Amino acid sequence: MSLSTTASAARYLLPGIVAGVVGFAFSRLMIEPLIGQAVEYEAQRAHVEGELLGTGHDHGHELFSRAVQSNVGAAVGITVFAVVMGVLFAVAYAVVRSVVARRGLVIHPAGLALLVAAGMFVAVAAIPGMKYPANPPGVGLDDTAAARTSSFLAIVVVSVACAGIALAVGLAGSRRWGGWAASVVAVGGYLAAMVGAMLLLPEFHEVPEPLAGPDGLVLPGFPGELLAEFRLYSLIAQALMWLTIGATFGCLTRLTGQPRFTPTTGRDSVTVPG
């Protein structure tokens, strides 16, 4: 394998691997205890519901223990997801760099990497999360799982598509209206489109309510503080992942060199750091 091929593979895969390690460490420290509390509430609620209905509660059999799920399962899942997002980031970076360079704009590679990472965080996680925030175990009905998944994927696709259109509009209009005006139009159009999409997509309000029996309240509803903390830390985990991907990619670009567009010739030339 040639040096250039190795460098290219590292640039595509290493940011996601590093982000996966960082994301798992954060998740294991901050999110896993919340998942444990949510699982305990879910089990307690199932037990209480079984007693109220007189059917008892079957604890079932877990294929993998909680220890395996929270360590091996979480590590593999988070790392694979981060690697996939890292590859998509590299593709997006290449497209944005090409478009920006052909308009004669000069942006430092590391700065551009962080900007692209921030944009992808907003388009993939932050804005879709406003409509469909992350939920811990025990929140959400089994019957609506497919509908919730398809709705979330739909808003992510719409968000990414609208973000791409907004970027194209902003770059195209920067020479005609100026940078600030073009940015306002692009961002305003993106936000307006996303508000419309959020209004059209279905709502899901499935946080467990309190359980009452013949003698009054038996079990309170799902803890609001736990739900809020889980959603906050899940969003922070996403931000941390995209920041790590952008920063790692920027460092690799600096170390390995990258094609740099030269406006005077209209061609790509390679700059290797010395």
The residue behind tokens 């007189």 is 54
Residue 132 CA: distances (Å) to CA of 121, 136, 155, 231: 15, 12, 9, 10
SS3 258: strand
Q: Which residues lie closer than 8 Å to 162 by C-beta, 6 or more apart? A: 123, 189, 190, 193, 194, 197
Q: How far apart are CA 159 and CA 190, in angstroms?
A: 8
Q: How far apart are CA 33 and CA 195, in angstroms?
A: 34
Please report, for the chain, the start and end positions of each structural domain, with discontinuous segments joined by +.
Answer: 3-139+207-271
CA dihedral 149, 196, 133, 13 (to 10 degrees): 70
Please, which residues have CB within 8 angstroms of residue 221's CB and are 6 or more apart in sequence?
207, 208, 209, 210
pLDDT by 10s per residue, the chain, length 274: 555 566 667 778 999 999 999 999 999 999 999 999 999 999 999 888 888 877 655 555 566 666 777 778 889 999 999 999 999 999 999 999 998 888 777 788 889 999 999 999 999 999 999 999 999 998 988 889 999 999 999 999 999 999 999 999 988 888 788 888 999 999 999 999 999 999 999 999 899 999 987 878 889 999 999 999 999 999 999 999 999 999 999 998 877 655 444 343 344 433 333 3
